[in-house]
Amino acid sequence: MSATLEISTSMRRYLQEHPDLRFVFFGGKGGVGKTVMAGATALWLSGQGRRTLLASTNPVHSLSGLLGQDVSGGHTEVSGAPNFWAYEIDTRETIERSKRDIREKIQWFLKFADIKTQADDFVESATMNPAFEESAMFENMVDLMLKREYDVYVFDTAPTANARRLLGMSKVYALWVEKMLKSREEARTLREMLSFTKKKEEDPLLAYLLQFRTRMGQARQLLTDTARTAFFFVTLPEALPIAVITRFIGWFHDFGIPVGGVIVNMVLDRQAMGSQVPEFVLNRMQMQDEHLGTIREKFDGSVRAVVPLFDQEVRGVPMLSRTGEALFR
């Protein structure tokens, strides 16, 4: 199966060499098994005695289906697995909270600028942006990271393009908040110069921006910390998933987010096939062999595990445990 794909540093060894690892992300093209790998890793870590939260930042959640229990309402203990909690992050509540916050700040700003109009139109315009849900998801993810209620957090991310935007937001937000702070300082200075009274007024918007900058700084520090954070890419031995992660690994390096390595999933096991192998399967095996060669060339030294295609669907704790045995062998 994987005889031609040598692994210099396995998943198990990587985690042993990074004992302070606290934030583990899984990403890749859709349909490659990100959720399964994230679930198997979270189960394995919880089995090591570490309080582990498996959280989904994918708007199209599948954790409940994977675990066979509803984990959408909040942090939920996973049945039959001590130290293991799961959570499908719901953006709706965050979006409504953000709308309230934005409405309050816009109303305060309009009052500050002596402009008589309703804030609702501004709020709707701001929250109709397609990226608003990703922003809300990022806020939720940062909330989890900064609260530090668990020993380790495993994130099942959206397909890689979304994950890149999601994790890249710390950098984008940092640039945005610096510009906003500069504008706000200039506006406040001008208002004080034109005011008859020289009394210093509170500025809730400026206070919010300063708090936001601190928060984004903390998030970015965590996301770029090679000791505490690692992003693993999951691929199949097929051309398209390989091309996708090749491109995105470079982008993650640009963001300064540590890449833990590559996991190759759903590889056909020759030994399990026996001697009577249908031609269709032989063709698929030959195709996989060629792409495993490509993986070896492109990601030499970065492959952490080769996980076989199982004879049944990976669903529930027992199958996740079986997957974990292959992932952490």
> What digits encode the pLDDT tens for the residues 20-35?
999 999 999 989 999 9
SS (H, E, C) the chain: CCCCCCCCCCHHHHHHHCCCCCEEEEECCCCCCHHHHHHHHHHHHHHCCCCEEEEECCCCCCHHHHHCCCCCCCCEECCCCCCEEEEECCHHHHHHHHHHHHHHHHHHHHHHCCCCCCCHHHHHHHHCCCCHHHHHHHHHHHHHHHHCCCCEEEEECCCHHHHHHHHHHHHHHHHHHHHHHHHHHHHHHHHHHHCCCCCCCCCHHHHHHHHHHHHHHHHHHHHCCCCCEEEEEEECCCHHHHHHHHHHHHHHHHHCCCEEEEEEEEECCHHHHCCCCCHHHHHHHHHHHHHHHHHHHHCCCCEEEEEECCCCCCCCHHHHHHHHHHHCC
| pTM, 2 dp | 0.82
Q: What are 87-117's pLDDT values in tens digits?
A: 998 777 777 776 677 667 666 666 655 555 5
Q: Which residue has the higher pLDDT, 276 or 226?
A: 226
259 contact partners, CB below 8 Å, separation of at least 6: 230, 231, 232, 233, 249, 252, 253, 302
Most confident of 162-166, 167-171, 217-221, 298-302: 298-302
pLDDT grade, residue 197 (50/70/90)? low
State residue 312's pLDDT score: 93
Per-residue confidence band for 257, with pLDDT thresholds at 50, 70 and 90 = confident
* pLDDT of 122 higher than 80: no
Q: Give the side-chain half-sphere CA count within 13 A for 35.
A: 23
**pLDDT tens, position by position, 217-248:** 888 888 889 999 999 999 999 999 999 999 88
Average pLDDT, the chain: 84
Segment among 22-26, 168-172, 181-185 with least mean pLDDT:
168-172
* pLDDT (mean) for 50-56: 96
Supply the pLDDT for residue 236: 97
Q: Do 34 and 134 meet the contact criterion of CB atoms below 8 Å apart?
A: no
Q: Report how far apart, in Å, the C-alpha atoms of 205 and of each of 102, 175, 254 are.
A: 10, 17, 32
pLDDT at 1 > cutoff 50: no
